[in-house]
Amino acid sequence: MRALILAAGAGTRLRHLTEKRPKCLVPIGCKPLIDHQLQALRDAGVDDIVVVVGFEAEQVRRHCPQGVTFVVNEQWATTNSIYSLYRAAEWIEGRMLLFNCDILFDRRLLSRLVEGEGSTLAVDSRAPRLAGEMNVSVDDGDVVRAIGKHLDPVVTNAVSVQLAAFDATGSQLMRTELERLVDDDVKDAFPTSAYKPLIDAGGLRAVEAGDLPWAEIDSVADYDRAEEEVAPRLN
């Protein structure tokens, strides 16, 4: 299985923490954020790892261990994460994991995704749904029916943890839609835009993460919460 980590952004909302280093190298619980992710991948038996870099790319290259493959998004300052994913399109195939570098998660969650059948998305049904966040609508059969920051929180019932696993069919559908979107000059969007054909086919299943510690680190407040409440509880 392959893992693809999107780590090209500058993380400007973290202010002083990312002035001289990329977000993935910000320390959480005494080690950089990406080290938590790499360790969880190793524990899950995943050693085929592709990292998309941009801001301070050389720092990430020097930090990561041998064996990690790097893809560069030279347009990191003017595009969103969908374009980082597009830059790694040739690596989107077969059974694979996809997540951003700013997600701190318990390794048990990764195991749930890896062990699941088909294509899966980690969601937290216990977290509050807020306008402008990556909300998810899941039906009674745990099938994802919609995902996006545009969704009205009232009609959703979970928040995306932004960790996904795709089987071969899911990878192909996602890659085809991704390439179509970027060919149409859609570069200021999130990778979830490329999930639409898979969701329309009923092929993306939700995996519950609400009972495990996790955090998305977008702001200083997110960072403080991750340090104080999430990192100490990680397994």
Q: What is the pLDDT along the chain (235 residues), one digit of tens a residue?
A: 999 999 999 998 898 899 889 999 999 988 999 999 999 999 999 999 999 999 999 999 999 999 999 999 999 999 999 999 999 999 999 999 999 999 999 999 999 998 888 999 999 999 999 999 999 999 999 999 999 999 999 999 999 999 999 999 999 999 999 999 999 999 999 999 999 999 999 999 999 999 999 999 999 999 999 999 999 999 8
3-state helix, strand, coil split of the chain in percent (to 5) is: 40, 25, 35
Q: How much is the pLDDT for 117?
A: 85
Q: How much is the pLDDT for 65?
A: 95
Task: Report d(CA 65, CA 47) in Å as an integer.
Answer: 11
Q: How much is the pLDDT for 114?
A: 87
Q: How much is the pLDDT for 97?
A: 98
Task: Report d(CA 148, CA 155) in Å as an integer.
Answer: 12
CB–CB of 209/158 below 8 Å?
Answer: no
Q: Which homologous superfamily does the CATH classification assign to the domain defined by 2-233? A: Spore Coat Polysaccharide Biosynthesis Protein SpsA; Chain A (3.90.550.10)
Residue 14 DSSP code? G
Write down the pTM of the prediction: 0.96
Q: How much is the pLDDT for 213?
A: 97
How many other CB atoms sit within 10 Å of the CB of residue 197? 15
Domain ranges for the chain, please list them. Answer: 2-233
